[in-house]
Structure formats: C-alpha cells, structure tokens
Amino acid sequence: MQPFLDRRRPGGNKHGTPRNEKDKVVFLSGLYQDDSDALLTGSKLTVDVDDQSFETEGYEDGFTTGEPIAAIVLSTSKKSGDYTQFSGPTGEVRPGHTDLVKFHQSKGFVDVRGGGRSSYRSTITDVIGGSVARIILRECFGTRFVSSICQVGSLKSQKSLADTLTIDNVDEIETSLGEAEIASIDHDFANEAGELIKETRKRGDSLGAAVEVVAVRVPPLLGQPLYQSLKVRLMGALGGLNAVQSCEIGSGVDVIPRTGSENNDPIRSSGYQSNTHGGLLGGITTGSPLVARVGFKPTSTINLPQNSVNKRLDEIEFELAKGRHDPCVGVRAGVTLESRMAIELLNSVLAYQATAHCGDSIKLF
C-alpha cells in the first residue's frame, strides 16, 4: 500500500505542488502478524498527534483477519491560513473552483480550509482501498494496472500504453514508469512535458493533462445490466475524480469517423484480434485489456489576475494571495485512476460470484 501512496503524495514530484506530505499509512485494525519476532523488528512509524507521539509496529509480513481494515494517514503540512481569502460571506471566489457553489449550496456552512472534498487530498482513500483491491485481483487472476500520461496541454505522446503493455512486459514498464518524474512510456514526450510544466508554473498558470490507464489479465463476463454495467460504473468512478473533464473507453472519440468495418474487432477461437472496444462490450468485460483515457482540466487555482466575484456576488479582480497548488494535477493522477479501476473491477467480480454464477470459473475463450 505504501508505494502506491508514495506515488500519489504531494511533494514527491518536482512538477507537482510544493506542499510536502509523508503520507505514511498507519493501520488501526484488520491486520495481524503472528510472528512476534517479525512484529517487533518490522518497520516502525512514529506519528505525532496533538503533541503526543505514537509508534506503530511493522506489518510487512502480516495478513488480513477478515475484520474491516481501518487505516489513517495524517496531514502534517497544513497552512490553513492560506484559505482565509476565501472564507465567509465576503470571501473571494476562485474562477473554476467550487467556492461559490459550495458556499451557497451549504447556506454558508462550508469549511474552505484545504478545499474540503474538492481537494485532491481526498483521493488518499481511493489509493488505500484500491491497494487492497489490487492485491486480491492480482492473487486471484493475475490482474495488473498501469497508467501513463499521454498528453500535457497541447503536447501529445507519440506512444500508446494500450498498444505497448502486455502481461509479459508489465513488470518492466511498471518499474520504468515508477522511476520517472513524468510517468509516460514516451520518454521524449515526458522530457518536453516536464519543461512545459516548468515554464507554465513560472508564469503563474496551469495545464490540463490526459492519462491512459490499462488493466491486463482482466476476467471476462464481468458487469451487470444497465446502470450497473461495468462501463457505467467505470466511467462514473474515473469521471467522478476531482478535476476530471472527460473519460473515454477503448478508442474513445477516435471511433467517430470510422466505418463499422474499420472499427469492429475481429474474433477468432483464441479471442479478439484487436481491442478498439477497450475490453468492454455492452458494459461486460471480454477478457481483453481494459483501457480508459481520462482528461483533466488545468488546475483552477492559479497565480494570475482574473475577473471574479465575492460570495455576495460583488464584482472583484481576483488575485491569489497565498497557496501551494499543482501546476498540472494529471501528473499525480495515474495511481488514483488505477485504484478506482481496481475497486470497480473487484466490485464486479464480487457481483458476478454473488449471482447464479456462484462457483463458476470466470472464462470465455
């Protein structure tokens, strides 16, 4: 779990927010280590809460007990004073942010510190839950999840993760991406994107991005009817992530100018010969890799003057006083997308096994 949180954490990437959080996970329940020597010598973590220090024992070789897994990750690099500019009925509204709608929806009872649920920090819970789902899916089916940044601003990658990733090279690609500041399989694109983000940040502006996320060794026949189809659930999970503006499955909008003969995936007894459908037909998995492409808007909070209002709707010229914000939120988003995809895939496995298919092996070809 910790390596996934490390990929998401602020401060772990020079192209992200200057805020630096350790994001060390502490388990409160659901795990047990029966080897007392290993328990006492496992990695320890000291956590400070209200001037008191708590030391947790290591659980690296532990196992789940079947009880709910409870975990906590503390925020230790807070600067709540940075948000006073947006507080109260005369608080200023950041264009593109949720300040105005959240204030009036809640009748003024809103806590602006850190951005609340609109903050990307809320995705810690996705990564924790997704880490558990990934372990189960990998142990049961060999399923793996990988993501690659494929666009930053108008700059596009010349390589596709979906065309490159296989079960045979997944370890190599995962290692390579894990070591990169811009996690893209196109290294030339990654270098250019890093420079573009750096230049944009200096101007006080921000950039949008697109991230490709792929799962291999996906069990076929998963997905319930209509609103519980895996396509609906997956697009809701990925599209509902903070700052997401678009979500495409398979070839996405690229299929629009094609004819049916160009777009259909040929089938042989061994399986599908191509994967335009992105692993889903009728919202049901086919066993082909599950492919999604998710677009993120530029970070709303920027350091440039903009026309805006305060919460009483008085017109103002808004200029950010303080803040530590990502110049391109898509840079840290890959692991969260992988996590949400894993959670929805595991939900579909459990739904499949809870129906008339209970006890069946999940197999198509």
Name residue 39's amino acid: L
pLDDT band at 323 (very low <50, low <70, confident <90, very high): low
Distance CA 28, CA 128 (A): 13
Distance CA 250, CA 243 (A): 21
How does pLDDT run across 346-362, given as a tens digit for each residue? 999 998 887 755 555 66
- Segment 178-185 shows an average pLDDT of 91
Distance CA 255, CA 296 (A): 21
Give φ, ψ of 14 to 5 degrees: -70, -15
- Segment 224-231 shows an average pLDDT of 90
Distance CA 279, CA 231 (A): 10
pLDDT band at 49 (very low <50, low <70, confident <90, very high): low
- The model carries a pTM of 0.86
**Among 118-132, 191-205, 283-297, the least confident range:** 118-132
Q: What is the DSSP letter of 318?
A: E
**Among 38-52, 65-79, 109-123, 317-331, the least confident range:** 38-52
- Segment 221-243 shows an average pLDDT of 93
Distance CA 329, CA 204 (A): 15
Q: Is 232 exposed, middle or buried (0-12, 13-18, 19+ CB in 10 A)?
A: middle
3-state secondary structure at position 117: helix
Distance CA 153, CA 159 (A): 16
Distance CA 189, CA 149 (A): 9
Domains, the chain: 121-354 (3.60.150.10)
pLDDT band at 273 (very low <50, low <70, confident <90, very high): very high
Tally: H helices and E strands in the chain: 10, 17
